[in-house]
Amino acid sequence: MEKLNLQYDDFSKEFIDGTEIYNEKSRIAYYSVLKDIIFDGKKVLDVGCGDGWDINKISKRGAKMYGIDSSSDLVRIAREDNPKASIIEGNMESLPYENEFFDVVLSKYAIQTSTNVPKVISEMDRVLKPGGIITYLAVHPLRQFLEKKKHPKNYFLQEIVESKFFGGSVSASEPTHTFNEYFNSEFLKKYQITYFKEYEDFPSSEKISGDTYPCFFVLKAIKQL
């Protein structure tokens, strides 16, 4: 897990440049879900905040922004660009915040990098107030299944795959997941899902065998009181 976390330090510039060029579809999808959230005066956590692009954008809507990322280089850049936000280096699986501290918890293209997605979601839930909103965008499990590129493939077996993105200019190692990890029974009991949609995202994502399939999904849910 430590090696997976540190890999983004090796290509932080390429990651930032590629995000700017290729992530239009995912940004439009993500912010179409965020547009109805009232951020003014709210404490908001961005899990896997990267270079702080989203922190900068959401802070302009009056939010008190917090961010956490495992890449020291990306955290440095995020802090430089967002001096009023509280941005720290750390792991998603162990968020260093008090219970029920945040009004909104967000994450974009981050939680799939963990080998233990249920633990990450459990931590996001722990720090979110009842009645609060959780929204995340993650790589689609079907895309990760196809990226295994070997036969026979086992959807239920977690393996590390090489995920190529940004037109093939960047590749990263990521653990595969199942939908059950994102939507387990504990989560479904505690949250009302108000939005869920799957999206394709080419050429940002590698197109395996020329097929068209979902590359990421976006979820928005409210924590029950």
Calpha distance 13→124 (Å, rounded): 28
DSSP 225: -
pLDDT computed for residue 9 by the predictor: 61
The arithmetic mean of pLDDT across residues 14-23, rounded, is 75
Calpha distance 172→149 (Å, rounded): 15
Note whether 49 and 78 are within 8 A (CB). Answer: yes
pLDDT digits (tens, 9 = 90+) for 175-221: 999 999 999 999 999 999 999 999 999 998 999 999 999 999 999 99
pLDDT computed for residue 211 by the predictor: 95
pLDDT digits (tens, 9 = 90+) for 69-102: 999 999 999 999 999 999 999 999 999 999 999 9
pLDDT digits (tens, 9 = 90+) for 122-175: 999 999 999 999 999 999 999 999 999 889 999 999 999 998 888 777 788 899
H/E segment holding residue 55: helix 53-59
Nearest CA-CA partner of 1 in 67, 97, 91, 109? 91
pLDDT computed for residue 2 by the predictor: 58
Going from the N-terminus, what domains does the chain have, and what CATH number goes with each? 2-223 (3.40.50.150)
Lookup: tokens for 87: 């941005």
Note whether 92 and 79 are within 8 A (CB). Answer: no
SS3 of residue 18 by DSSP: helix
Say what the pTM is.
0.92
* pLDDT averaged over every residue in the chain: 92
The region, left, alpha or beta by phi > 0 then psi within -120 to 50, assigned to residue 52 is: left
Lookup: tokens for 119: 């633990």
pLDDT computed for residue 163 by the predictor: 87
Query: If you compute the radius of gyration of the chain from its CA atoms, what whole number of angstroms results?
Result: 17
pLDDT computed for residue 5 by the predictor: 61
Calpha distance 164→149 (Å, rounded): 12
pLDDT computed for residue 172 by the predictor: 83
pLDDT over 80 (residue 8): no
Residue 122's φ and ψ, nearest 5 degrees, are -65, -40
pLDDT over 80 (residue 19): no
Residue 177's φ and ψ, nearest 5 degrees, are -145, 170
